[in-house]
Structure 1
């Protein structure tokens, strides 16, 4: 039996008891090795912050809580460790069959076991280079509580900060799954206040409190339809399809990219590349289009074409103003 299994076994014996368990009984009746028991007790106290005490008046070891209960953390590793583990899993899963297939299969199995056990002790990530671009600061404790709720299927009460409205609101949510997107973590959850599915940026959770209520379960097919069918992180069913045409030069890069699982594309006769992507909210798509500047044209829909045009006009106007203020230069002048 692994150390993790032994720790869970000891926890189950202690959890919910109002009277303690004597050390002799744990060693004799429950078959814990003496050295192992000492190590498990230390781990519960020091690594998992369990309120484990030895109460002689009540017969031995117990959790020092009103009802004798203590909820183990659902996740015992950091967001960065989880990312490393999941990245390895995805890399192995997406490898085409080759010479090393038989040698890598045991590694795939071991990673699956680590994920299933919800415990990690990988140490150094090794020689995998991950470049985190625009990753936002997150609260490690909040991440672990949120991830634990996802795995253990219980509700959370959160104070959530909305950057666009610059305000915080209290929510009761049923976590469904975690998503790591563009170097940041998002929580897909059922919001009991809004009566609908929502995606929450984990770093915007200012306060979080685990609740004893079981989480409402939403079918994976519904999650994918409501939260995974549109463009980027924004939820909602797609309401339009953006038609983007890239220059022949930029097409060398874009033709190799997947912008959306349901995208459609084709090469045009003059070497340009047409990409069609569904979207519900144009904000993220706008940012991705703008970074290509003059090397992409929005052909349709007219509504989104106008949004991009207005954004480019607003950006250009800042440079005209800056130039005129600094040197007296006016658009159209000598």
Structure 2
């Protein structure tokens, strides 16, 4: 039978009392569930580490541990310096049906494109909660393939990713040394990290930059150095990632522009098979079968690349300055192709 000695008798004498922040019922329940899960996952949490995580006194943590011990016996592991369940693993592993295994294969294939940090975390999660130890790779017989760019990875990116995610969850600032891709300029910045987005194979940090006094984007593979800080923040102006990207064609932010494009009837079915290409889209199908789409987007650089993918069956109608810009770029590209052909470089 498990020892029922109160946890307060196990507290190191060097611990000084510290006032806890008040927590509501739902927050207390969330903490209990989180602590239970950490112990069940064999992470061996200590009272000290949990107190720092939740910003409460260690005596509060001991009360949580006492409550957990009433559900399942736990004990302190002197070698691991943290708590574990007396009777071993407490998370029941799932036996999957064929449909559930297919879903797992799909998720595994998708996560394989996201880089090492998420691949590793997904594998650990899969092994923790299922009896499936190894999922077949797509090239050895998986019936599902996800076609998307693989994430850019660097030697340091994996560690940066995990640190940034932790600081996002705990609302703590980070200091970075950043080398911009276009300007090649290297700067030191303090960032309040708000979120991370995967865009065209690159992980992008979205956060408030103290140097620029504004929300900025930072590619993780361009970060030369990163240090987490014990400085807490609250997002500016009730920031949300959804709101931040609401007008962007992709992720970039600029002045809002109303863009109208016309697609020929040759590609009309490809255009209309998708309900919307952007939340702001207004669609008109013309009598001759052509399709006109109007968007309100933050800048034109990203939508322009999409427009170019439909050449020669697309035409920019508005605004006039954007139509002229596209015309000049296409003329320059055509001239380059003609010059190459005339030089005899064609194959």
State the TM-score bracket (shorter-chain normalisation): 0.5 to 0.7
SS in 2 for 1:78: helix
Distance 1:171 1:39 in 2: 37
2:147 aligns to what? 131
SS in 2 for 1:140: helix
After superposition, residues 100-111 of structure 1 pair within 5 angstroms as: none
Does 1:283 find its partner at 2:301? yes
Q: Residues 297 and 201 from structure 1, CA distance in 2 versus in 1: closer, same or farther, beyond 3 angstroms? A: same
Distance 1:170 1:274 in 2: 46
Measure how far apart 1:153 and its partner are. Answer: 1.0
Equivalent in 177, 180, 187 of residue 159 of structure 1: 177
Q: Residues 124 and 278 from structure 1, CA distance in 2 versus in 1: closer, same or farther, beyond 3 angstroms? A: farther
**What per-residue deviation string (whole Å, max 9, x for no partner) do you get for residues 147-199 of structure 1?**
11111210011122221212222111101112223333222111111111112
2:257 aligns to what? 240
SS in 2 for 1:240: strand
Q: Residues 151 and 240 from structure 1, CA distance in 2 versus in 1: closer, same or farther, beyond 3 angstroms? A: same
Equivalent in 251, 267, 281 of residue 250 of structure 1: 267
TM-score (norm 2): 0.61
Q: Contact between 1:149 and 1:210, CA under 8 Å: does it hold in 2?
A: yes
After superposition, residues 157-196 of structure 1 pair within 5 angstroms as: 157-196=175-214
Measure how far apart 1:120 and its partner are. Answer: 9.0
Q: Contact between 1:266 and 1:273, CA under 8 Å: does it hold in 2?
A: yes
After superposition, residues 248-327 of structure 1 pair within 5 angstroms as: 248-257=265-274, 258-326=276-344
Q: Residues 254 and 306 from structure 1, CA distance in 2 versus in 1: closer, same or farther, beyond 3 angstroms? A: same
SS in 1 for 2:217: strand
Q: Contact between 2:247 and 2:256, CA under 8 Å: does it hold in 1?
A: no
Q: Residues 281 and 164 from structure 1, CA distance in 2 versus in 1: closer, same or farther, beyond 3 angstroms? A: farther
2:117 aligns to what? 78
Distance 1:187 1:270 in 2: 45
After superposition, residues 215-230 of structure 1 pair within 5 angstroms as: 215-220=233-238, 223-230=241-248
SS in 1 for 2:147: coil
Unaligned runs of 5+ in 1: 18-28, 44-76, 86-113, 329-334
Distance 2:246 2:345 in 1: 50
Distance 1:134 1:296 in 2: 29
Distance 1:204 1:142 in 2: 11
1:4 aligns to what? 38
SS in 2 for 1:292: coil
Q: Contact between 1:198 and 1:235, CA under 8 Å: does it hold in 2?
A: no
Q: Residues 14 and 255 from structure 1, CA distance in 2 versus in 1: closer, same or farther, beyond 3 angstroms? A: closer
Equivalent in 223, 230, 233 of residue 205 of structure 1: 223
Measure how far apart 1:218 and its partner are. Answer: 3.1
SS in 1 for 2:312: helix
SS in 2 for 1:326: coil
Measure how far apart 1:37 and its partner are. Answer: 6.0
Measure how far apart 1:264 and its partner are. Answer: 1.5
Does 1:140 find its partner at 2:158? yes
Distance 1:140 1:193 in 2: 25
